[in-house]
Amino acid sequence: MLKLKDICKFYNPGTINEMCLFQDYNLSVEAGEFVSIVGSNGSGKTSMLNIICGSIPVDSGTISIDDQDISKMPEYKRARMIGRVYQNPALGTCPDMTILENMSLADTKGKSFNLKKGTDKSRIEYYRELLSGIGLGLENKLHVKVGSLSGGQRQAMALLMSTMTPIDFLILDEHTAALDPKTADTIMELTDKLVREKKLTTLMVTHNLRYAVEYGSRLIMMHQGHNVIDLCGAEKQALKVDDILYKFNEISIECGN
């Protein structure tokens, strides 16, 4: 279980530009949940992911995984238990390295490198098999540099690489936002397949309301650092895109927009 307890986060504290992002924010995510997170810009979605991953510190409160407090754990150590895919496909892969070299690098996540070859030839067929499951023909391009691939191919690789080693959580930060609609659909289908097959606990921030409704076992809508919708089970299954749009419009009116 992932638990955020009484999280407080201020930006520019003690200045005229002080802003409270989170005040006593709480969130619990059970093992195996696939949580879709929506909300307007500035609602705290990506900041929450950054807090979980250790990219930004909290002013107070605790972050724990299976009752282990990781609040003071540095980001690089948390990365061993968290797979993360970013909005920009370029951030999840190394463009000047080949597909094979990228796969080999991901395969050694959290392990000691020592003085040995970067690519284990005995793993090549395993990499081919993994890439074949994507359905993009990348298994036949192992020696092609990743920088020459399309955005969708790179994002598919980033998604696959983030789940190659055992992880506690998969963090998806608007990972389809930079893709065209058809490619985004392909990446979401791959996401759902990997999450189900590996039984991954997943948090997905998205601006695509259709994806938020169609995918996942739980939906959270955030606004000004609070959860204004939190639905799972039958309530989540019954949710429609228009229901979320109505809530967006209601909040917009309350804010004077």
Structure confidence by residue, pLDDT tens digits, 130-163: 999 888 899 999 999 999 999 999 999 999 999 9
In the structure encoding, which two tokens stand for residue 101, read together?
């070299």
Compute the distance between CA of residue 51 and CA of residue 102 in angstroms, rounded to an integer: 27
pLDDT in tens, 211-242: 999 999 999 999 999 999 999 999 999 999 99
CA distance 33 to 232: 9
Per-residue model confidence (pLDDT) at position 115:
45
The pLDDT mean for the chain works out to 90
| Strand pairing class (60-65; 68-69) | antiparallel
Share of the chain above pLDDT 70, in %: 94
Question: Residue 113 — pLDDT band, cuts 50, 70, 90?
Answer: low
Q: pTM (2 decimals)?
A: 0.90
Helix (H, G, I), strand (E, B) or coil at 32: coil
Question: Mean pLDDT, to the nearest integer, of 48-76?
Answer: 94
Q: Find the range with the poorest average confidence among 94-103, 119-128, 148-157, 247-256.
A: 247-256
Give the mean model confidence (pLDDT) for residues 192-213. Answer: 95
Question: What is the rounded distance in angstroms from the CA atom of residue 59 to the CA atom of residue 180?
Answer: 38
The CA–CA distances, whole Å, from 187 to 119, 126, 175, 220 equal 27, 21, 8, 21
Q: Which residue, chain included where needed, has tokens 């705290």?
A: 44
Question: 18 pLDDT exceeds 90?
Answer: no
Residue predicted with more confidence, 39 or 108: 39
User: Virtual CA dihedral for 24, 27, 28, 34, nearest 10 degrees?
Assistant: -170
pLDDT digits (tens, 9 = 90+) for 76-100: 999 989 999 999 988 889 999 999 9
Q: What pLDDT sits at residue 200?
A: 95
